[in-house]
Chains A and B, each alone.
Chain A
């Protein structure tokens, strides 16, 4: 860290390690599949290891579900749907979901630690964002269960049946909550496949479902890789598909569902612009840029991975941004001081590093912070690419890592056109002191979530999802409820 950095407090004041305690969590050596209320091994007996990306050591062995296991899970979900969950009075259904919300809040620290161990995210984020939001999500949708007739004007909606859900590794428990909570509130049962590299909190959630007495078969968790996911989404017994992941896999899912009439929600990739005008509060904008791209190591589909900054303040802002990045602590995910944790897997780190090579090969200026990641574990220092062209691959393609490209603009229209010049349309940000300009930009950005003078904020009541190649449908809020209901009117996909 350079001594001229005004933010380099560390030279006067060293941070001591502040690791979160792990003595209160319990992990089994081996986890089965959660089907019909019971844990059981896969029919094949196959397992795979889930790795702590900060130590590169295995945490547990997890069952690898094959087609026959998926079939048992779908059958269990079907029976629970027909015999238990959909005949149950809606208010009682809601009370079960409230129980999940409460139990999750009670055991929040345990879930937070496991989330950080399995996925590499800083404990500060899993403790303050992932787990509280997951609990809040269950709490929000629990209350909808007996109010569905009020949700959509002119409709008496009905549930769809068995929902097949596949989620990614960046927010493992939170994504499970986003998928399971609205599905159950609407009266569906679910089979959920967590990501291969982060199955543990979903399995702990399965234990929690047992603990709160959720009827068997209402929630089923099958672990495995992409083949397990394909077996689940291709199963003829499902009535709804919900997927969060890459646009490429989303395309394959759309193709496999063609002609089946199965409704789907897809939450896919993004390449969001974070636009900073010359009248923006620069210090706040710097914090927003950092939060936009380095939150969760940049493993965020809605990350603000393209900075668009007014030419008038670009030099000043970049200087402040670099000084701020230098102070970020890249390190042990369980340390409470850590800002940027471990990259989720060796494969993802390799993918990010490949993009770093691509960016340099395209002639962009490459800059990394003076951070000092640990020797072992999968880490990537926060990275900036300046002097990039709109057509550069690092500007166009989703990297899913702590890598920010920086472009400048002179006029409103230039900023808007560069922001919208992408096949994606998930999110965007705008920083300015001028209210009229905020509304003009937020209404002209072709993106599903727009943050003005803030970034990467989430809430159960707030619909989330993308335009264009970023997906179909919404999760969260009233709009997210529609994805799990047959409204009986209109032309639904």
Chain B
């Protein structure tokens, strides 16, 4: 951790990185921590190593938040996503420093934070449009009014990519919550700091408690529990070995959970955003009603 500043003689106050569950910042119930070191080998933070019990608490919080978030107006969800971008913009410098502490160059850090903010704006704009793009009125042959609309699948697990640490997490998270789902996300195992600070941004942006829950820990330990959890409806994996992802797909079959392996996606590419990222965690509901007098 940083030592006494040479110019001011002041010892900086180091932040304790905790979990983000149900709108609160608890330590892991397990009491375990992983020491995160920089390239010089110095400890830069002790990061919580979340347990299965923490993960289950996060799923409970996400499920509890689901009725409210999925029925919130599209306009409100869009406004809240925009608010997240605003908050991040205001704290951009903090994120530059954090990304640099994790070993990213200054120029790359600036670029990553800018892209992350712009991605949030992109999905803020989608919140009240994707339903129109993904819906249909179906001209059935019988005398019925028939239409199909997307609805959120429910609680979605996310395993964020190890790099880019901030942009990857937000690129996966934003379309899922723009679409009315609630999330339990594992922060990048090797670069968790900016993710966990992003939880503070979410917290300051009127995102209702439990809509996004963020955990730090080990993919190897937590992914099987996320994949097997019977109250998780979908899972996006961007940081796992092929065997771990396949195992998660086998585990997820128990409740017909869609488990999508997106490891290797270039999150700074132009097609790393768009309405089909929202669609992947939506269900289509078709409603029939007779037309008669």
**A residues engaging B (CB < 8 A)?**
136, 152-155, 247, 250-252, 254-255, 257-259, 261, 266, 268, 423, 438, 442-443, 447-454, 457, 459, 461-465, 467-472, 474, 477-479, 487-493
Task: Note all chain B residues with C-beta closer than 8 A to A490.
Answer: 274-277, 279-280
Docked Cα-Cα span, A487 to B262, in Å, equals 15
Whole-angstrom distance between the alpha carbons of A252 and B253 in the complex?
8
Q: Which residue in chain B gives the minimum CB-CB distance to A424?
A: B256
Determine the chain B residues whose CB is within 8 A of the CB of A463 once the complex forms: 136, 138, 148, 284, 286
Interchain CB contact under 8 A, A478 and B276: no
Nearest CB on B from A482, distance (A): 9
How many cross-chain pairs have Cβ atoms below 8 Å apart between A and B?
Answer: 140
Taking CB atoms, residues of chain B closer than 8 Å to A252 are 253
Closest residue of chain B to A470, judged by CB?
Answer: B256
Q: What separation, in Å, do the CA atoms of A470 and B255 have in the docked complex? A: 9
| Cβ-defined contact, A469 with B255, below 8 A | yes
Q: How far is the CB of A486 from chain B (nearest CB, A)?
A: 11
The 8 A CB mask of B266-277 against A (1 = contact, 0 = none) is: 000001001111
Q: Would you give 7 A-B contacts (Cβ < 8 Å), ordered by A? A: A258-B247, A443-B151, A462-B146, A462-B286, A463-B286, A489-B276, A490-B276
Contact A258 B285 (CB under 8 A): no
Does A438 lie within 8 Å of B280, measured CB to CB? no
Q: In the bound complex, how far is the Cα of B258 from the Cα of A454, in angstroms?
A: 31
Task: Determine the distance from Cα of A491 to Cα of B242 in the docked complex, in whole angstroms.
Answer: 17
Q: Is the CB of A491 within 8 A of B260?
A: yes
Nearest B residue (CB) for A261: B261
Closest 5 pairs between A and B when the two form their complex, measured CB to CB: A490-B276, A259-B246, A258-B249, A254-B253, A459-B140
Residues of B within 8 A of A464 (CB): 286
B253/A251 in contact, CB under 8 A:
yes
How far does the alpha carbon of A490 sit from the alpha carbon of B246 in the complex, in Å? 20
Instruction: Chain B residues near A451: list those with CB within 8 A.
Output: 287-288
B159, chain A: closest CB distance, angstroms: 13
In the complex the two chains form, is B288's CB within 8 Å of A457's CB?
A: yes
B142 at the interface (CB under 8 A from A): yes
Interface size class of B (residues with CB under 8 A): 35 or more
Establish whether residues A247 and B249, one from each chain, have CB atoms under 8 Å apart when the complex forms: no
- Known contacts A259-B245, A450-B286, A459-B140; A266 and B280 CB within 8 A of each other: no
Does B254 contact A454, Cβ atoms closer than 8 Å?
no
Given A259-B245, A463-B286, A490-B280, 20 other A-B contacts at CB below 8 A? A252-B253, A255-B249, A257-B249, A258-B246, A258-B259, A268-B256, A443-B285, A447-B285, A448-B283, A452-B289, A457-B144, A459-B142, A461-B146, A464-B286, A477-B148, A477-B286, A479-B148, A488-B271, A489-B274, A491-B265
A-side contacts of B256, CB under 8 Å? 247, 250-251, 254, 266, 268, 468-472
Q: Does B243 make an interface contact (CB < 8 A)? A: yes
Nearest B-chain residue to A425, judged by Cβ: B283
- Once A467-B283, A468-B255 are accepted as A-B contacts, the answer to whether A452 and B262 lie under 8 Å apart by CB is no
Task: Say which residue of B141, B253, B286 sits within 8 Å of A258 (CB atoms).
Answer: B253
Which among B144, B262, B286 is the interface contact of A491 at CB below 8 angstroms?
Answer: B262
A479→B136 contact, CB < 8 A: yes
Assess whether B249 is in contact with A259, with CB atoms less than 8 Å apart. yes
- In chain B, what residue has the closest Cβ to A268? B256
Partner of A493, one of B260, B283, B290: B260
Q: Which residues of B contact A (CB under 8 A)?
A: 133, 136, 138-142, 144, 146, 148, 151, 153, 233, 236, 242-243, 245-247, 249-250, 252-256, 258-262, 265, 271, 274-277, 279-280, 283-290
Please state if B255 and A259 are interface contacts (CB–CB under 8 Å): no
Instruction: Collect the chain A residues with CB atoms within 8 Å of residue B258's CB.
Output: 472, 493
Enumerate chain A residues within 8 angstroms of B285, measured Cβ to Cβ.
442-443, 447-450, 467
Nearest B-chain residue to A478, judged by Cβ? B136
* Neighbouring A residues of B236 by C-beta, 8 Å: 491
B262 contact set on A, CB distance < 8 A: 491
A493: B residues at CB distance < 8 A: 258-260, 280
Closest B residue to A487 by beta carbon equals: B276
In the bound complex, residues from chain A placing their C-beta under 8 Å from that of B275 are: 153-154, 490
User: For residue A251, which residues in chain B have a CB less than 8 angstroms away from its CB?
Assistant: 253-254, 256
CB distance A459 to B252 under 8 Å? Answer: no
Q: Which residues of B lie under 8 Å from residue A247 when comparing CB positions?
A: 256
The answer to whether B287 and A461 touch across the interface, beta carbons within 8 angstroms, is no
Contact partner, A452, options B242, B245, B246, B287, Cβ 8 Å = B287
Residues A462 and B250 in contact, CB atoms below 8 Å apart: no
Docked complex Cα distance between A478 and B284 (Å): 11
What's the Cα separation between A250 and B255 when bound, in Å?
10
Contacts of B144 in A (CB 8 A): 454, 457
Minimum Cβ distance to chain A for residue B155 (Å)? 12
Residue of B nearest to A439 (CB): B287
In the complex formed, the residue of A with least CB distance to B141 is A459
Q: Are A479 and B284 in contact (CB under 8 A)?
A: yes
Q: Which residues of A contact B271 (CB under 8 A)?
A: 488-489
Inter-chain CA distance A81–B139, complex, in Å, is 31
Cα of A217 to Cα of B253 in the assembled complex, Å: 32
Q: Which residues of B contact A470 (CB under 8 A)?
A: 256
Q: A448-B285, A452-B289, A457-B142 are in contact. Are A462 and B148 (CB under 8 A)?
A: yes
* B284 contacts A448, C-beta separation under 8 Å: yes
Tell me the complex Cα distance, A442–B286, Å: 9
Within the assembled complex, what's the spacing in Å between the Cα atoms of A477 and B280? 18
Q: Contact check, A453 vs B280: say whether CB atoms are below 8 A apart.
A: no
